[in-house]
């Protein structure tokens, strides 16, 4: 069977714009990283039971791919989809670190949704896939739309392509498993200071290169302070010209900006 690519992302900037119940509204520039990716392959299997293979740290029922399948089947009730996943298992070769702010699990689930849409001939639009994916995780819509760079807002469901050149980015991921919910909760408790709409609009228009050349790590990512408060060992990995992706633990820099 064909192998499908599931790329990583970094958040060039991530700013909190408000709260929606227990969720946080954001404005963020997502940039796809095509040099770091997992691969998904469908392989024939003997049992009809849903099967995910790969070096995962969670049980299959908690995997974003399985959750995406459940939402997709709930939406379509497609017998072709059910038959496809009874006949084939999903093998994932993991290269994107987990708990790292790089969107690996979301990317896997988004890629899986596209695979199912194609192979089960579901004929769903990208907007429909994004609607389904948003029920699984906030980062899925970005990966479903497939833009190389995009402004992501709301709670992740609003994705607007941003026209710019891809940057040559180098990623470093310390072996620190970060809980995204915990980082957001810490932000809400001790660092909550949403940006105003004028600043939000201004940042959405700035190129990623300008952002990285003019903002500090804390200015670019509102979650860095709360992540550092919960995981002080992150400070050992901060270097000049480093930026922080998502809720961490990954740092990234432009390849020509080491210092």
Residue 258, pLDDT > 60, answer: no
Q: Determine phi and psi for 254, rounding to 5 degrees.
A: -70, 135
The residue among 36, 172, 5 whose CA lies nearest residue 100 is: 172
What are the pLDDT digits (tens) for 97-116? 998 999 999 999 999 999 99
Show the DSSP H helices in 54-146 as ranges: 64-76, 79-87, 104-119, 126-134, 140-145
The residue among 92, 102, 94 whose CA lies nearest residue 172 is: 102
What is the rounded CA–CA span in Å between residue 7 and residue 24? 25
The residue among 131, 41, 128 whose CA lies nearest residue 90 is: 41
The whole-angstrom distance between residue 208's C-alpha and the CA centroid of its chain comes to 17
Residue 184, pLDDT > 50, answer: yes
What are the pLDDT digits (tens) for 40-57? 999 999 999 999 998 887
CB 209 within 8 A of CB 33: no
User: What pLDDT is stored for residue 257 in this prediction?
Assistant: 59
- Mapped onto helix, strand or coil, the DSSP state of residue 247 is coil
- In the chain, the domains with their CATH numbers are 3-161 (3.30.230.10), 169-254 (3.30.70.890)
User: What pLDDT is stored for residue 56 in this prediction?
Assistant: 81
Q: To which H or E segment does residue 11 belong? A: strand 3-20
CA atoms within a 13 Å half-sphere pointing along the CA-CB vector of 57: 7
| Alpha-carbon separation of residue 155 from 15, 70, 139, 158 (angstroms) | 12, 21, 9, 8
The residue among 217, 221, 253, 219 whose CA lies nearest residue 235 is: 217
Q: Is 9 a catalytic residue?
A: yes
Residue 216, pLDDT > 50, answer: yes
Active-site annotation holder among 2, 9, 34, 70: 9
User: What pLDDT is stored for residue 57 in this prediction?
Assistant: 74
Mean pLDDT of 73-90: 97
Mean pLDDT of 227-252: 96
Query: What's the predicted TM-score (pTM) here?
Result: 0.95
Active-site annotation holder among 15, 38, 67, 139: 139
What are the pLDDT digits (tens) for 111-131? 999 999 999 999 999 999 999
Q: Determine phi and psi for 139, rounding to 5 degrees.
A: -90, -10
User: What pLDDT is stored for residue 159 in this prediction?
Assistant: 98
Q: Is 193 a catalytic residue?
A: no
Q: Determine phi and psi for 160, rounding to 5 degrees.
A: -125, 120
Mean pLDDT of 31-35: 97
DSSP state of 125: -
């Amino acid at each position: 069977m064909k192998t499908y690519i599931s790329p990583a992302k970094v958040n060039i900037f991530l700013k909190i714009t408000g709260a929606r119940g227990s969720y946080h509204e954001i404005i963020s520039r997502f940039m796809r990283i095509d040099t770091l990716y997992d691969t998904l392959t469908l392989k024939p299997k003997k049992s009809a039971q849903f099967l995910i293979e790969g070096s995962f740290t969670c049980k299959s029922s908690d995997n974003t791919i399985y959750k995406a399948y459940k939402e997709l089947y709930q939406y379509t009730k497609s017998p072709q989809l059910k038959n496809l996943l009874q006949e084939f298992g999903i093998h994932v070769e993991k290269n994107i670190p987990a708990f790292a702010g790089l969107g690996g699990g979301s990317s896997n689930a988004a890629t899986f949704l596209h695979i199912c849409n194609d192979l089960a001939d579901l004929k769903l639009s990208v907007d429909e896939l994004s609607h389904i994916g948003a029920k699984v995780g906030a980062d899925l819509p970005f990966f479903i739309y497939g833009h190389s760079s995009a402004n992501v807002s709301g709670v992740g469901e609003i994705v607007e392509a941003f026209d710019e050149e891809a940057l040559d980015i180098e990623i470093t991921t310390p072996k620190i498993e970060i809980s995204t919910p915990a980082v957001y909760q810490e932000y809400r408790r001790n660092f909550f200071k949403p940006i105003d709409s004028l600043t939000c609009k201004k940042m959405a228009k700035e190129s990623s290169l300008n952002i990285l050349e003019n903002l500090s790590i804390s200015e670019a990512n509102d979650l860095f302070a709360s992540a550092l408060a919960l995981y002080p060992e992150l400070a050992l990995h901060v270097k000049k010209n480093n930026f922080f992706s998502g809720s961490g633990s990954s740092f990234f820099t432009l390849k020509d900006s080491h210092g």
